[in-house]
């Protein structure tokens, strides 16, 4: 079974997300919006399929990364989130929440051994992935 198939996103806390987005836009050319940036790409093994990696800033007081106290969160793309969660449970991995389903895919959060929250994302449609984390 395939597990992680790619990097779905990088999320980090900052004092002023809007100013941070503007700084990255001005100085590094990131085409930011209020939600960050979506980097579109094509899958190497099937170029007809698109993928997206999100880059998003969050306010310091966001609860989105809980229960982790770390200022960042990584999102990984997965192929079969239900089967993967079942396998992770058998390995005694901490599952933070239930699988949530949205128009753009299924999500669940787990913890690594150091308490870093990890977001797993199974995109709804590989040909048109969008992540609207927030």
Where on the phi/psi map is residue 65: left (φ > 0), alpha (ψ -120 to 50), or beta? alpha
User: How far is Cα 109 from Cα 97, in angstroms, rounded to an integer?
Assistant: 6
Q: Taking residues 31-42, report their average pLDDT.
A: 93
Question: Above pLDDT 90, what percent of the chain?
Answer: 81
Residue 71 placed within a domain: yes
Q: Taking residues 103-109, report their average pLDDT.
A: 95
pLDDT attached to residue 107: 97
Please report the sign of the dihedral spanned by the C-alpha atoms of residue 88, residue 69, residue 134, residue 96: positive
Given the DSSP bridges, would you call strands 117-123 and 72-78 parallel, antiparallel or unpaired? parallel
How many separate domains does the chain show?
1
**Phi and psi torsions of 33, nearest 5°:** -125, -175
Which CATH number covers residue 77?
3.10.180.10
Element (H, E) at 82: helix 81-90
Domain range holding 70?
4-12+39-55+62-123
pLDDT attached to residue 51: 87
pTM of the full predicted structure? 0.86
């Amino acid at each position: 079974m395939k597990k992680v198939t790619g990097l779905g996103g990088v999320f980090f806390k900052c004092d002023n997300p809007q100013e941070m987005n503007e700084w990255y836009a001005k100085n590094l050319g990131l085409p930011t919006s209020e939600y960050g940036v979506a980097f579109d790409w094509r899958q190497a093994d099937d170029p007809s399929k698109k993928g997206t990696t999100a880059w998003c800033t969050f306010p310091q007081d966001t609860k989105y990364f809980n229960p982790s106290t770390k200022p960042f969160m990584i999102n990984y793309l997965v192929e079969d989130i239900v089967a993967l969660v079942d396998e992770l449970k058998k390995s005694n991995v901490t599952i933070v929440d239930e699988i949530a389903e949205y128009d753009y895919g299924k999500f669940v959060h787990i913890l690594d051994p150091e308490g870093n929250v990890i977001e797993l994302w199974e995109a709804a449609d590989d040909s048109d992935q969008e992540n609207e984390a927030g």
